[in-house]
Amino acid sequence: MPVAGVDVGSLTAEVVLLDKGEIMHYVIIPTGANSKTAAEKAMDKALEEMGLTRASLKYVVATGYGRVSIDFADKRITEITCHGQGAYYLNPGVRTVIDIGGQDSKVIRLNDKGKVLDFAMNDKCAAGTGRFLEVMAQALEVELDGLAELSDQAQNTVSISSMCTVFAESEVVSLIARGLPREDIARGLHQSIADRTAGMVHRIGLEEAVMITGGVAKNTAVVRALNEKLKTDLIVPEEPQIAGALGAALLAAEEIKS
């Protein structure tokens, strides 16, 4: 029987269905105002698209900041453990995982079995996260998906002194008013995220191979800036947003074996 992992974050909710160690299906939807409702919708959508029902599932593990509100889960497990498991499944050579989500970021060190050795986490503010990029894109009057492309057009890098989302937004508005090129500002923003993230990586020690997960992994400018800062080539999964839900599903599968 299949199992499921549910990861409810601040901006998106993901469900992964797993059967016999293989990914059957996954969905990603916006979390919206209610994490419990988002989890219900994501699960129902995943099951409906596969022609399954809740009764079809043998075990469900929930993770993410909204995990406590998911009452249909059989177990709730921290996102650190789940992201580590998911990344290791996607590439067993991974030893360092950088996860940049909607409103937090984390760096996780793994051993050769995929177990967590150490981690660093920023969950106190939205600095350097998906929400940070959303606000900066609005300030630059560009779609979020176009922020990396704008950065690619830069001839120079404008240094951004603040990583606080509110102060950085004011700084960007001021820089635009001074006539500085938007593309140079965009590159500076991506560089500031790389600098902050690299600091977290160095706190726990960099060991290759390194994978980046979370929605921000889809921003090629962030990935490139991190590659340069860390002097490595980050592994970007085909769908980097499902690592947490995938890890939760893998742990669900372990539960029914024990």
Mean pLDDT computed over 136-155: 94
Domain count, the chain: 2
3-state secondary structure the chain: CCEEEEEECCCEEEEEEEECCEEEEEEEEECCCCHHHHHHHHHHHHHHHCCCCHHHCCCEEEECCCHHHCCCCCEECCHHHHHHHHHHHHCCCCCEEEEECCCCEEEEEECCCCCEEEEEEECCCCCCCHHHHHHHHHHCCCCHHHHHHHHHCCCCCCCCCCCCHHHHHHHHHHHHHCCCCHHHHHHHHHHHHHHHHHHHHHHHCCCCCEEEECHHHHCHHHHHHHHHHHCCCCECCCCHHHHHHHHHHHHHHHHHHC
Indicate if 248 and 230 belong to the same structural domain. Answer: no
Indicate if 160 and 53 belong to the same structural domain. Answer: no
pLDDT of residue 125 exceeding 80 = no
Indicate if 179 and 224 belong to the same structural domain. Answer: yes
Indicate if 74 and 107 belong to the same structural domain. Answer: no
pLDDT band at residue 191 under the 50/70/90 scheme: very high
Indicate if 104 and 70 belong to the same structural domain. Answer: no
Domain containing 23 equals 1-91+239-258
Indicate if 170 and 244 belong to the same structural domain. Answer: no
Mean pLDDT computed over 75-81: 96
Indicate if 124 and 66 belong to the same structural domain. Answer: no
Indicate if 144 and 183 belong to the same structural domain. Answer: yes
Indicate if 221 and 252 belong to the same structural domain. Answer: no
User: What pLDDT does 123 receive?
Assistant: 61
Indicate if 148 and 227 belong to the same structural domain. Answer: yes
pLDDT of residue 12 exceeding 80 = yes
Mean pLDDT computed over 34-53: 96
Indicate if 68 and 6 belong to the same structural domain. Answer: yes
Indicate if 177 and 222 belong to the same structural domain. Answer: yes
CATH number for the domain harbouring residue 115? 3.30.420.40
